[in-house]
Amino acid sequence: MNANQVIQIYKKDSQILSSSVIELPQTNRLKYLHAKMRDKVASKSQFIFYADQVFRLLIEKSLELVPFKDLDVTTPVGETYKGKQFADPICAVSVVRAGESMENELRHIDLKIPIGKILIQRDVVTKLPTLYYSKLPDHIAKCRVLIFEPMLATGGSAICAIQILIDAGVLEENIIFVNLLCSPEGIQKVTQQFKKIQIVTSSIEEYLNANAFMIPGIGDFGDRYFGTT
């Protein structure tokens, strides 16, 4: 699978899933990063170290999907270099708490991109999401928006976050959902409801277990990244 190929097969039972889901190429290097991060004995600092490297790949891939326009510059030897710059304003929106973990890598790439916040928490028993707070950039309706959410399990939190952006005037086709792990079940639910969004993920997992954990999975991402276990 190369980086520009879209996933068209729903892994679990070979149904057509969507043409808008991009899984990063499953290279040995990416599998190494996943192994180090997923290992249950990884310390908090190891977990952050490897997760951040995968986030960088995910954000870079996501930023390849937005339109660019020409940017010509004059080099020190007096010649023109024909480069590119974003054609539209870009912003990111983190789904707090786990999504905030992706912000550092975005800041390493581009400090000017504004970051909105949506606080959604999943009930530990019902697994249903509750929205507590959102603060979005004023001009978000004109933006290409990266949603930062490392975990897509049942899909409830993702659907809630995407709907908030659409209610704020963001075009569905301008949303890129940046994700570390997703379940086949969750991704199907999200793409059925929002057919025009794009999802960039580093792994489509095997399945969701009865406790709404992805398998083979990574455990509770927020607890591991922020050290609250």
- Binding residues (CB under 6 A) for ligand PRP: these are 95, 97-98, 121-122, 127, 129, 149, 151-158, 186, 212, 221-222
Q: Give me the least distance between CB of 80 and ligand PRP, in Å please.
A: 46
Q: Give me the least distance between CB of 90 and ligand PRP, in Å please.
A: 22
Q: Give me the least distance between CB of 224 and ligand PRP, in Å please.
A: 9
Alpha-carbon distance of 117 to 89, in angstroms, equals 17
Alpha-carbon distance of 18 to 11, in angstroms, equals 11
Task: Count Cα atoms within 13 angstroms, Cβ side, for 15.
Answer: 9
223 is catalytic: yes
- Please tell me which residue in 52, 56, 97, 220 is annotated as part of the active site: 220
13 is catalytic: no
Using CB positions, name the residue nearest to ligand PRP.
222
Q: Which of 130, 183, 180, 126 minimizes the C-alpha distance to 155? A: 183
CA 45 to chain CA centroid, Å, is 21
With CB cut-offs between 5 and 8 Å by kind, which of Mg ion, ligand PRP, none does residue 156 bind? ligand PRP
Is residue 214 a contact residue for Mg ion (CB under 5 A)? Answer: no
Which one, 33 or 161, has the nearer CB to ligand PRP? 161
Structural tokens at position 188: 């199907």
167 is catalytic: no
Alpha-carbon distance of 140 to 49, in angstroms, equals 31
220 is catalytic: yes
Q: Give me the least distance between CB of 135 and ligand PRP, in Å please.
A: 16
Task: Say what the alpha-carbon torsion angle 130, 132, 137, 141 is, to the nearest 10 degrees.
Answer: 40
The span of 90-98, 109-117, 182-190, 197-205 binding Mg ion (CB under 5 A) equals 90-98
- Please tell me which residue in 29, 130, 223, 228 is annotated as part of the active site: 223
Number of helical (H) and strand (E) elements in the chain, helices listed first: 6, 13
Q: Name the phi and psi angles at 122, rounded to 5.
A: -90, 130
Which stretches of the chain bind Mg ion, using CB under 5 A?
A: 98
Residues serving a catalytic function are 122, 126, 220, 223
